Amino acid sequence: MKFIATDVDDSIEKIAAMVKAEQARPDYAIDSYFYRSHLVYEKELENLVFRSWLYAGHVSEVPNPGDYLLFDIGEDSVIIVRDKAGEVQALMNVCRHRGARVCEAQSGNRKTFVCPYHGWVYNTDGSLKAAREMEARADFDITDYGLKKARILVYMGLIFINCDPHAADFLGPLSNLAQPLGAYDLEHAKVAHKHTYKVDANWKLVLENYLECYHCATSHRAYARMHTLKDTDARVSGIVQAMLDRTEQVTGVEGMGKEFYGIYMNAAGFGACAYTSRYGLFDGYLTGSEDGQPVAPLMGNIQGYDGGAGDFQMGPLSFMLNYPDHCVLYRFIPRGLTSTDMEVVWFVNGDAKEGVDYDRDRLTWLWHNTTLEDEFIISRNSEGVNSRFFEPGPYHPEFEATLQEFVCWYLDTMSHAAQNR
């Protein structure tokens, strides 16, 4: 973890003033203050991260009653577990007695969760099963002390949670992705591999890097030779349009090239972003691999390679890049002021067998190496942004347009946070 000097004179009033100053210059990168302030970080968690819909896992990771995985956010931990009735639950990993975590292993199977401190026992649906000797209190009601829960939504096999009890509807926005996302049959897909890259940088720097492809041509040579996103729209419009013209016939999927745009300030509800579009690969490339050639069986209902890739956003911090033969999911989660978990998940057809239908190293090569390149440039970005000599420069109007939309939403959120204290 990188340690940085912070402002000892920080305050809510300073947040409000800095936000106002940034909103007056929307075409420029934001001040280093927003990456260095502990107070800003706490306000982000409270007002942005824990109020947003976040990808937490895939149903294949909790197939049986008692199966669970942990999802760590900031300094908190959430247990994603399938209860004995078969329902997926999102339980806060905090004992209702004096706060000890009731689960430590990152994944496994449990009939109950037992607090290691004083032995309180919780069922997999979060209800309190036993509280040793607490009958000594006449006012103690066991039904009052179940584990706290987050809201949960399972959509096409993807598990999303929101820690805000008043969270905006997410099913409605996601339904706009139904045709192109449904083509991959993610509910029955298989997690071929996942890896968490721990980046020594503020979470916004990690997310901002994903939201722009201005750096792609210079930082990601393997990616750039295959994907048209590295060029301006004017340069590659012919390639992209030709792909869109054939996509339904080649893939056999109606609506495969559908576009929908509802993210950040344009989202239907706070933290309920939904987006999809399909962009082209350069001629001769069929998928995202080292040589651009297939690395796994076709996904779901897809019948052929159209020379395109599906681009999806679900919530403010979760994204998918879906090729005809595999899907890659990215999730960005703050873990500290200068620490971010960048999780990457690779999905293949549910019937595919490793070593027979796909080789894991070939499958993951492109995005593993691209992510390592991202780690390198983000770390350098963090060191520069935290320099006392850093002065924010102008955004590129096309390549960094989505990044600017995030920053606009972020500043609006922080403005309300400062006003509401």
Q: How many helices (H) and strands (E) does the chain have?
A: 11, 17
Same domain membership, residue 143 and residue 175: no
The number of domains in the chain is: 2
CATH number of the domain enclosing 123: 2.102.10.10
Q: Is residue 29 part of a domain?
A: no
Residue 90 falls within a domain, yes or no? Answer: yes
Asked which of 100, 119, 152 is the last residue of a domain, the reply is 152
pLDDT at 201 (0 to 100): 96
Question: Do 97 and 188 fall into the same domain?
Answer: no
Residue 127 is assigned to a structural domain of this protein? yes
User: 228: domain CATH number?
Assistant: 3.90.380.10
Instruction: Check whether residue 230 and residue 340 sit in a common domain.
Output: yes
β-strand 54-58 against 151-155: which pairing, if any?
Answer: unpaired
Is residue 136 located within the same domain as residue 183?
A: no
Task: State whether 74 and 214 are in the same domain.
Answer: no
CB 154 within 8 A of CB 59: yes
Q: What is the CA radius of gyration of the chain?
A: 22
- Quick one: pLDDT at residue 1? 53
* Same domain as 278, residue 358: yes
Tell me what pLDDT residue 5 has: 63
Residues 92 and 228 in one domain: no
Q: Residues 197, 289: one domain?
A: yes
Domain boundary pick from 105, 122, 152: 152
> Is 340 within a domain?
yes
pLDDT at 420: 81
Alpha carbon of 332 to those of 147, 324, 398, 413: distances in Å?
26, 24, 23, 18
Query: Is there a single domain that holds both residue 96 and residue 68?
Result: yes
CA distances from 156 to 303, 331, 343 (A): 20, 17, 19
Residues 91 and 201 in one domain: no
Within 137-271, strands assigned E span 151-155, 158-162, 190-199, 260-262
Per-residue pLDDT of the chain (421 residues; tens, 9 = 90+): 566 666 668 999 999 999 999 999 999 999 999 999 999 999 999 999 999 999 999 999 999 999 999 999 999 999 999 999 999 999 999 999 999 999 999 999 999 999 999 999 999 999 999 999 999 999 999 999 999 999 999 999 999 999 999 999 999 999 999 999 999 999 999 999 999 999 999 999 999 999 999 999 999 999 999 999 999 999 999 999 999 999 999 999 999 999 999 999 999 999 999 999 999 999 999 999 999 999 999 999 999 999 999 999 999 999 999 999 999 999 999 999 999 999 999 999 999 999 999 999 999 999 999 999 999 999 999 999 999 899 999 999 999 999 999 999 999 999 999 988 6
Give domain status of residue 19, yes or no.
Answer: no
Helix axes 401-420, 12-23, angle to 10 degrees: 150
Domain of residue 182 covers: 170-407
Write the CB contacts of 389 (distance below 8 Å, at least 6 apart in sequence). none
Looking at the fold, whether 272 and 383 belong to one and the same domain comes out as yes
Whether 312 is in a domain gets the answer yes
Query: Is residue 416 a part of any domain in this protein?
Result: no
Residue 186 placed within a domain: yes
- C-beta of residue 324 within 8 angstroms of C-beta of residue 296: no
pLDDT at 9: 80
- Are 272 and 375 members of one domain? yes
Among 117, 152, 187, residue at a domain's last position: 152
Strand partners, 76: 73
- Residue 213 CA: distances (Å) to CA of 86, 232, 241, 278: 41, 10, 20, 15
